Structure formats: C-alpha cells, structure tokens
Amino acid sequence: MSAHAPDRILAELSDAVASGRGVALATIVATEGSVPRHAGTKMVVRADGSMVGTIGGGKVEDAIRQDALETLRSGRPGIRRYPLRDPECGDPGVCGGTMTVFLEPYGMPRTVFVVGAGHVGRAVVDLAHWLGYRTVVVDERPEMLSEASIPHADVRFLGTVADALAAHPVTAQTSVILVTRSQDLDAQILPLLLETPAGYIGVMGSRRRWETTRRAMEASGLPDTGLDRVHHPIGLDIGAETVEEIAVSIMAEVIASASRTGQ
C-alpha cells in the first residue's frame, strides 16, 4: 500500500459522510500466520462494489468486499475471520494465515423517504428535517416539488419511485412514508419498496383501503411475508386530526420502530 493510501481512504470516508453516500470500511484488526497485509490496513468499499485501497487482493479480498456490501445494506458493523489457505487460487504469498477484519458502514444518515408531496408529505418532511433526518421526497407532479412549497426537503425528486430508488438507494437506516393519492398507486409502488432493506415502511389510509391494496398485491403474487413489514394505518394512535398532528404520529412511529430494531 502506498504512503498516500491512508489519506485517500480518509478522504473517501469524509466525502461519503458529507454527501450521504454509503461506503463500508474494512479494517484488519488481527492476523495469524502468513498474510498479505497486517493489522491496521484499511480498505473502503463503495455501494457499487468498487474499492479504495487493498487488504490483500485475490479471492479473500473479494470475499471481504461482498461482506462489506452486506454490512452496508444492513447498516450493522461486524467482525469476520478469513482463512487464507490456498496460495494457488488468487492469494499469492499466503501460507495458511488468517485475517480478522472489522467491517463498519459509513455515510448512511437516518433518512425519511416520502412518496407523495401533498399536505401530509410536506408536513412529514418539515418535522423530519427538524428532528435531524435527511429528507427525500418523490412526486411526479412538478408543481408539488418547488422549493417554495417544500423548503426542507434535502432531495426533491421529480419522477417515478423506481427512478428515485435507483438515484437514492434505500438502506436499513431509511424510513419510507407512503402518502399517495390512491390505493392503485400504493399497489404499484409497494412491491418496489418491499425489495429494499428499509427499516420502516408505512402506508397512509384507512384499514379498509389497506385491505383492498393488500388483496390486489396478493392477487399479483406478492407473498404475505413481505406485506407483513408494512405499518398500516400509518402512525401511532394519538388521536391526530390536523395535518401537523398526523405528521407527529407518523414520526413517533418511525422513532419507536427504530428504537425496537436498534437502528
């Protein structure tokens, strides 16, 4: 590793934290036997799988990269041991050693991802911003996404939810708030959201509306195990009536859910 590699890694971490771009840091914390790198060596793995730095190369580095990506998706750090037993399979110079690596995610702020920029969506964004969350709001109506109408959104995405998810990936630290205009939209959008590792997914509407939406998705083949992740009706029951009170009930449930899951 070059003398400048630690600086590159620190710069990458700093940029990730500043931009909210997820990366995972892999650090060798212990070694046994003959290994290509030693304790303290670090490598950054980006969400697209590219890397900054190296902690060994070959098959073991690819295994660490895959585990780092899983750490990034889950948001949970962990320690893994990697035996290096076959120098003829991509690990030159290794003679049976073992590396212990600490994997930790960075640059993954708590995010509230709001689908629908109507009255409730705007109120949720305002409150989430005040609570310190990064806020992303998605809508296909340009008039709903002006800075004047929703000033506290960190990201205003004009377009489909599919495109928004591609541009701003959801992680385990993301709470998704679905406050659309119709149950048909909910039925179209929810399968996409259920493919993500979102820590919370909540849907606005009455129990009757949810049951109609659920039946439509079940008829399309979506399994119950996925639908059971959805919070409905959205928010804690605090007797909310105004838009602002509804936003409080939603964010209260988001906070409670994160507390239960340790995120």
**Average pLDDT of the chain, as a whole number:** 87
165-174 pLDDT, tens digit per residue, is 988 888 888 9
71-116 pLDDT, tens digit per residue, is 887 778 999 999 886 545 444 444 578 999 999 998 778 899 999 9
Establish how many alpha carbons lie within 13 A of residue 66's alpha carbon, considering only the half-sphere containing its beta carbon.
6
214 or 103: whose pLDDT is higher? Answer: 103
* Token duo for residue 185: 């939209």
Fold classification of 111-261 is Rossmann fold (3.40.50)
Establish how many alpha carbons lie within 13 A of residue 143's alpha carbon, considering only the half-sphere containing its beta carbon.
0
* Token duo for residue 232: 């409905």
Distance CA 159, CA 57 (A): 41
Q: Which residue has the tokens 């990064």?
A: 134
> Are 99 and 81 contacting, i.e. CB atoms less than 8 angstroms apart?
yes
DSSP string, 191-213: HHHHTS--SEEEE-S-HHHHHHH
Q: Where in the chain is the domain with CATH 3.40.50.720?
A: 111-261
